[in-house]
Amino acid sequence: MSDQYRTEIAGHELSPESLMMGYGYKPEWSEGALKSPIFETSTFTFTSAAEGKRFFELAYGLDDPDEGESMGLIYSRINNPDLEILEQRLTLWDGAEQGLVFASGMAAITTTILTFVSPRSVLVHTAPLYGGTDHFVHHVLSRFQVESVEWHDGMTPDDVAAEVGDRPLAGVLLESPANPTNCLFSIAAARELADRYRTPDNAVPVMVDNTFLGPLFQHPLKHGADVVLYSATKYIGGHSDLIAGAALGSDTLMARVAETRTILGTMATPHTGWLMMRSLETLALRMTRQMENAQKVARYLATHPKVDKIAYLGLLKPRDDGYDVYTAQCEGPGAMISIWIDGGESEAFRFLDSLQLAHLAVSLGSTETLVQHPASMTHAGVDPGDKDRFDVTDALIRISIGVENPDDIIADLSNALDKI
């Protein structure tokens, strides 16, 4: 193993947070530059025609790589050093064999799903889903005769299997915790369902959108998932300054997804890849502080008279729905808080318009606290009946806690709640 892939020192295993500063990169490649330069190039020169031919054989899966052989650099829609180094770093958090980065979270989700579905196959998905994913399943996949079955809170694998029947199952998509309600779904149960349909010709991947808790507080591959999906725009990017996505899993599944990405052209740019490497260096610091802040803020909000209901994983008690799933598959409560205030849209808007430190904006996982109104913003396009069923009401406000001083966040929320 060469230096850039060192993961232990004299038998001591290094943690991902320590490896984020250098893993996968060698300064000797770039005049000793400590940080990887941005490889702003569309194409890469081959040292010989035979080499070019061999790279393409591997890129298009026309031949399997020899032991230890890896595909060389070809063209930035297929591969680029910034993306490759970043992809290797991302695998460390989730214990994945291979990672792929994309132009957005939606690019990661749609490219991965398109890899596994076909007309008249069924995609099982948990509900509620992020608004964009919901739209893709119900308004885009449906046009290509890909069918969907909803897995909502309280359904067992038997219940879901009864709805799938004997149709071919293309995959199971879990969003847990769900955006915007923090509802949890069991990865082990999804695995049990997928295994009933799995055959040598049909992988039936369990895909988990891990945007809310990952990569720090939930590691789906360890609990039976096959693919982890991210909107890297959120915690991984973490500074509200980029749009990106990621998919992680086994070499075999990721090779199939990589082929789709090459053809759809949904990869991230080298500059975005470089920014994400910068972001990963402080990921553990940021997410830990955000989680600590969220615990303080949630404790404050839980007893506030204007707050009718609160959903924060850190407040789950043994008798609550979701507690067992939380203890089985989550390693921390993260920093996403949903509150249902006393009132409707006008009270919610008065609260939002009174914030002075927190920003009134969609997105989440950033250094600054972000607050939004899902029913009229991120989930505006969701079917009204579905909004009711999943409690995405006009009283719901979603808060993504940042790294500010927690007392300042509380003062801001408190002042705005007084204005309702």
Ligand X SMILES: *Cc1c(COP(=O)(O)O)cnc(C)c1O
* Torsion angle (degrees, nearest 10) of CA 94, 256, 115, 161: -60
Answer yes or no whether residue 130 interacts with ligand X by CB under 6 A: yes
Instruction: Give the nearest distance from C-beta 106 to ligand X in angstroms.
Output: 4
Answer yes or no whether residue 182 interacts with ligand X by CB under 6 A: no
Contacting ligand X (CB under 6 A), which of 91, 98, 115, 211? 211
Burial class (CB in 10 A: 0-12, 13-18, 19+), 73: middle
User: Can you say how many angstroms the Cα of residue 258 is from the centroid of all Cα atoms in its chain?
Assistant: 17
Q: Which of 398, 90, 404, 38 is nearest to 236 (CA)?
A: 90
The site for ligand X, by CB under 6 A, has a size of 15
Cβ-proximal residues to 305 (8 Å cutoff; 6+ apart), any chain: 342
Binding mask of the shown chain, residues 134 to 173, with x at each position contacting ligand X by CB under 6 A: ----------------------------------------
Is the separation of the CB atoms in 179 and 125 below 8 Å? no
Contacting ligand X (CB under 6 A), which of 22, 81, 105, 215? 105
**Between 19 and 133, CB nearer to ligand X:** 133
**Between 59 and 377, CB nearer to ligand X:** 377
**Between 76 and 179, CB nearer to ligand X:** 179
Q: Which secondary-structure segment (H or E) carries 352?
A: helix 345-353
CA–CA dist 280, 215 (Å, integer): 10
Instruction: Give the nearest distance from C-beta 105 to ligand X in angstroms.
Output: 2
Binding window for ligand X (CB under 6 A); candidates: 66-74, 139-147, 195-203, 231-239: 231-239
Cβ-proximal residues to 397 (8 Å cutoff; 6+ apart), any chain: 338, 339, 340, 341, 348, 351, 352, 371, 372, 373, 374
Instruction: Give the nearest distance from C-beta 87 to ligand X in angstroms.
Output: 17
**Between 243 and 302, CB nearer to ligand X:** 243
Q: Which residues bind ligand X (CB under 6 A)?
A: 104-106, 130, 132-133, 175, 179, 209, 211, 231, 233-234, 243, 245
